[in-house]
Each structure stands twice: as structure tokens, then as C-alpha cells.
Chain A
Amino acid sequence: MDEIPALQHPVAAAADLETGPAPAPTPSATKRLSHIKERFIEALLFLAAFSSVVITVGIVGTLLYESSSFFTHVSLKEFLTGTLWTPLFASPRFGILPLVTGTLVTTGVALAVALPIGTVVAIYLSEFAPSAVREIIKPALELLSAVPTVVYGYFALQFMSPLLQKLIPGLPTFNMLSAGVVMGIMIIPYVSSLSEDAMRAVPMSLREGAYAMGANRIITALKVVYPAALSGIVASYILAISRAIGETMIVAIAAGMQPNLTLDPREPAATITAFIVQVSLGDLPHGSIGYQSIFAAGVTLFIMTLIFNILGYILRKRFREVY
């Protein structure tokens, strides 16, 4: 990048030959001024880019600062192994496990919907569908992830829950199953779009090789294209997992807000995110133990998603297929 000022010399000189030297400011002064301006602009742009790091520091710092005072009241052992989460009761208990199981069950249901359907859609769009169909279907499916999550919450409670109640007798109105299913449909495009991009990046020659050996389309897709695109596909799965763990409004509306230590998706339960929403809706005084407990829950959530984000990052680097 440092060669550029040197390059400008002959050009500026040529311009001077034609029009004569510029009258008022000497060329060197203008150049120095423009050099300072360039440097100033670069510094501004750098600050803008660096602001993202400041935001991360803000997030981590706030979570650690606010939850550290929480952990002076509650031992880490009680927090991680306790089976009761009642921070707003007169005799509060702080075992995060019921919230974690709620999060894991809703996430599990969502993934059971999104991963198979999303993968099949990706294979279909990439290997089977005519390009005209793909050009219409892909953006249409992506609209699924553009719908506000609070609207999905409404849909889960008012549409999916009554529908599932007809199939499963005795299902309560608030349950993790309908929240999870709707959440799964919402994250289908995360899986299908990214996986399809990865599969389409697989060179044609690999497919042609398989066809030449007598394979049909589905065998080629499953045995050649899918493994070759695995890094991108797994990255899309991990994105879906981390989206499902952090999803808030659907579970807050449709899964009920009662902490419940269970692995049965038919029951109502609160997730970590739903708990944070529930507490925020009330008016908790700043600095109270209830106020600090949402930050402790937040740290747990942040660590869970961070693990998956890092895992995805490593997988993307590691399994990058070289053709």
C-alpha cells in the first residue's frame, strides 16, 4: 500500500506540464495536507471497525461484573447442581438445571424438525430442482427467518398448540413441543440456505465422476456431494443450534414460564431466555439478587452459545475440503 504515493508523482507531474503549476498552494503543501486527511480518515474508519471489539468487551464485562456479585451470594456448586430455580420466592433457590433442561428440550425438538427437513430441502434445491424453481423457492424460504419471532410465538400458541392437542390428547396449552416445532420451522432456512450454498460449491466434475460410474442423482448427492460439502453443512447445523438455544420470544410465549425439571417435551417449562424475559417484565430493583440472577442466567446462555460458535469456527477451518 505504501507504493501508491510514489505512483502519483509522474501523474501529477504530467498534469502540471499541461496546465502549468497550480497557482496558490504549492503542490507539496497540498500533498502534505491531503496526506494528513488520508491518515485521519483511516484512523476514523479503524475506530469504527474497532467498535465491534468494544461491544464484545462491553458484553463480557457486564455479564462478568453483574454475575460476580451474584456468585458471592450463591455458590457455584448450588448454581450448577441445584434442581430448584425460585429466585423470586421468599426463600430463593438458585439451581440453574431446570432452566437448562428447558433450553435443551426446546432446542432438541427444534433441531429434530430443522436438521432433517433443512438438509433434504438443501439436497433437493441443489441437486434436483430446476434452476427456475430454486430461484423462487430459496428467497421464499428465507422469508421464514425474516418473520419476527414474537409473531411465531403467537403462531405457536394460537395455531400449533391447538393442532397438536388434537393429535396428542391431554397436551397442555403451554408446552415445549409446540414452541420447539415452530422454532424448528423458523430455523429451516438457516440450515437449507447455507447447506445448499456449500453443496453447490462442490465442483461439477465430482458429480460427473459419480454419474460415469453409474450412480443416480440421489446416490451422487448422498455419497459424493454431501460428504464433500460436509464442512459447510456442519457449520449450518451449528448455526441452527446456537440460534435455537438463544431463541427467546417463541418459548417465552408458548412454552410457559414455570421452571420445570423435565425432559418430556409435552410439559410446560421455562428456558434460560424465557426466565430473563419474565424477570425483566417485572420491576426489579437494580442490585437485588433477582436482578443479578438474570445476569447469572445470561452468562450460562452466553457460554453455551459461545461453545457452539467456537466449535463451528474450528470445524469450518478444519474440514475445509480441498478439491
Chain B
Amino acid sequence: MSDFKRIIVKRKRQDFIFNIIGIVCTLVGILTLGALLADLLIDGLARINWVFLTSFPSRFAERAGILSSWVGTLLIMLVTAFTAVPLGVSAGIYLEEYARKNWVTNLIEINIANLAGVPSIIYGLMALGLLVYQFRLGQSVLTGGLTLAFLILPIVIVATREALRTIPQGIREAAYALGSTKWQVVRHHLLPYSLGGTMTGIIIALSRAIGETAPLITIGALTFIAFLPPPPIKTQPPFLSFEWLWSPFAVLPIQMFNWVSRPDQDFVVNAAAAGLVLIVVTLLLNAIAILIRYRVRKRIKW
């Protein structure tokens, strides 16, 4: 009997020990995230002010700012979103609702799974060879935006498909029974109901694109830009201008990279400040995505 008790005590102790190990390992991740934020805050918070946000880069660390790079990031994201969202959502709808089971569908599915595993810098090489030199788009906002759009396309497609898959089959059948065509079912029922899940995926994908550095360096984004692209809105007709698409650009992560790799400590402070802006934007986007996911999950009861 005492043997039996001893075994039970031993096994309980094993569980207890693993519990501790598990908590410690989890803390490694959480604490690193904390240390990262603290490190950036300590180094960079004091540097963030209005002048920093509204100045061009400069040879003097204390006068340098991130104006051209955050404008560049914003414009690139505009191109990326307007390309990746329609393309990715349409592809997701096709694969989930229209595609027949045949080899073409199979090919597309395997291909998307594989694309998701291609390193981002490879997309940069593709864009350099194809978009910059073959299609002669140059090292422009358009090229940068398209590159990142290709990069996040698999994420948008997968998110759209997962959102569509959660809609019960009964909704589709009910709509068909009332005489809807396929597109009417998609347009009036599936798209609205899957909006929450799709939006979550799109926001996460865009937050990933904002932080991407390597593919944009590869296509030859500049690190020192002391002008802004031409504005998209004009005072005389036709009021809209797309000249900014052809403009050279800098983006936040590249600006940060440029400052990190300098030996001068003052520039490292600038890098920390730029990193702080970058991380706040990405974490904010992720928080919004989590919030949407949470609310959608709560609201919908099939």
C-alpha cells in the first residue's frame, strides 16, 4: 500500500515539475516580447516628437525624421491592399465555392500552399528581374506595392476560404431554394457573413506587409529620400493623379535598417524611435484583427 502511495506522489511530482517547465518556457516568449518593447521604449521614446514625424532624413541624427518613409509605407500599402484584397478574396471564393475537383484545382491548391512557404526575399528577386527590368516598372511605388501584394496573396486566400468554410451549407441551400443564382448566393449571403473572418485575415496580412523589409531592399528601394511623391489629389481637373505610382520611395523598415547599421549611437536612437512607430502600428493592427475575430465569434450563432 505504501508503495502505491509512493508511486502516486512521484507521478504527481512529475506533473508538477513539468507544469513549472511549461510556465518557464512560455515566459521566455512573453518576457522577450516585453524586453523588446522595453528596449525600444527606453532607447527611442524620447526621440519621438512632431519634428521627427514631419522631417526628411538627414545627415545629422538629431534633425533626421521619418516623413518620407511613413508616407512611402502608406502609399505602398494602398497599392498592396488594392491588389491583394480583390485578387485574394476572388481566388478564395473560386476555390471554396466554384472549383470542381480536378487537376487544375489541385494544382492551384498545392501551388498556394507552396507559395506561402517561399521566403520573402525570393519575391523581391522575382520583382527585380520581372517587374523592374522586364516590365520596366522601375524601382517605383507600383513595383513595391505589387511585390508585397504577391507576398501576402496566399494569406488573404487562405483567410477567405476559412471564413467561407464556417458558413453552414444550409444557408447556401436555402438561397438556392429561393431561386438565387450562384453569384447571388455569394454576393448577398456568403460575402457578408464571412466579412469578419476575411477582414481579420486581410488586416493580419497587411500588418505583415508593413514590416517587410527584404523584398523592398532587393528591388532597390532607396534609403535616403528627401522629397515626397506627387500628391494623389490635384486642384485642377481631373483632380485625381496617379503620378505617385511611378515615384521612387522609402519605407519605414528600410529607414530603420539604414539607421541601425550605422556606428553612430545617435542614429541608433533614431532607429529605435522608427522601430517603436513600426511596432505600435503592427501591434495596433493585430489588436484590431483580434477584436474583430472576437466580436464576430460572439455575434454569429448559426
Q: Closest residue to B218 on the A side, CB-wise?
A: A280
Q: Is A38 an interface residue (CB 8 A)?
A: yes
Q: List B residues 8-43 near A (Cβ within 8 Å).
A: 11-12, 14-15, 18-19, 21-23, 25-26, 28-30, 32-33, 35-36, 39-40, 43
On chain A, the number of residues with a Cβ less than 8 Å from chain B's Cβ atoms is: 95
B119 in complex: contacting residue of A66, A151, A305, A310, CB < 8 Å: A305
Query: Which of B58-66, B104-112, B163-171, B229-237 interfaces with chain A?
Result: B104-112
Q: Closest residue to A244 on the B side, CB-wise?
A: B119
Residues of B within 8 A of A301 (CB): 119, 121-122
Q: Is A41 an interface residue (CB 8 A)?
A: yes
On chain B, the number of residues with a Cβ less than 8 Å from chain A's Cβ atoms is: 94
A246 in complex: contacting residue of B122, B218, B223, B257, CB < 8 Å: B122
Check A151–B125 contact: CB distance below 8 A. no
Check A218–B257 contact: CB distance below 8 A. no
Q: Is A155 an interface residue (CB 8 A)?
A: yes
A276 in complex: contacting residue of B125, B210, B268, CB < 8 Å: B125
- Max count, chain B CB within 10 A of own CB: residue among A34, A41, A55, A247: A55
Check A38–B26 contact: CB distance below 8 A. no
Check B33–A144 contact: CB distance below 8 A. yes
Between-chain CB contacts (< 8 Å), 24 pairs: A4-B176, A7-B176, A11-B177, A42-B94, A45-B90, A124-B22, A124-B25, A124-B26, A140-B30, A148-B210, A149-B214, A150-B257, A151-B36, A151-B279, A154-B260, A216-B12, A246-B118, A246-B119, A248-B120, A276-B214, A276-B218, A280-B217, A280-B219, A302-B122
Query: Told that A159-B36, A280-B219 touch, could you supply 13 new A-B pairs with CB distance under 8 A?
Result: A1-B182, A42-B98, A117-B28, A124-B18, A128-B22, A139-B290, A144-B33, A146-B207, A148-B210, A219-B14, A248-B121, A305-B119, A313-B110
- Which residues of chain B have a CB within 8 Å of any CB of chain A? 11-12, 14-15, 18-19, 21-23, 25-26, 28-30, 32-33, 35-36, 39-40, 43, 86-88, 90-91, 93-95, 98-100, 107-108, 110-115, 117-126, 128-130, 133-134, 150, 153-154, 157, 176-179, 181-183, 204, 207-208, 210-214, 217-220, 223, 253, 256-257, 260-261, 268, 271-272, 275, 278-279, 282-283, 286, 290
- Which residues of chain A have a CB within 8 Å of any CB of chain B? 1, 4, 7-8, 11-12, 15, 34, 37-38, 41-42, 44-46, 48-53, 55-56, 58-59, 61-63, 65-66, 116-117, 120-121, 123-125, 128-129, 137, 139-141, 143-144, 146-155, 157-159, 185, 188-189, 192, 216-219, 221, 239, 242, 245-249, 252-253, 273, 276-277, 280-281, 283, 286, 294-295, 298, 301-302, 305-306, 308-310, 312-313
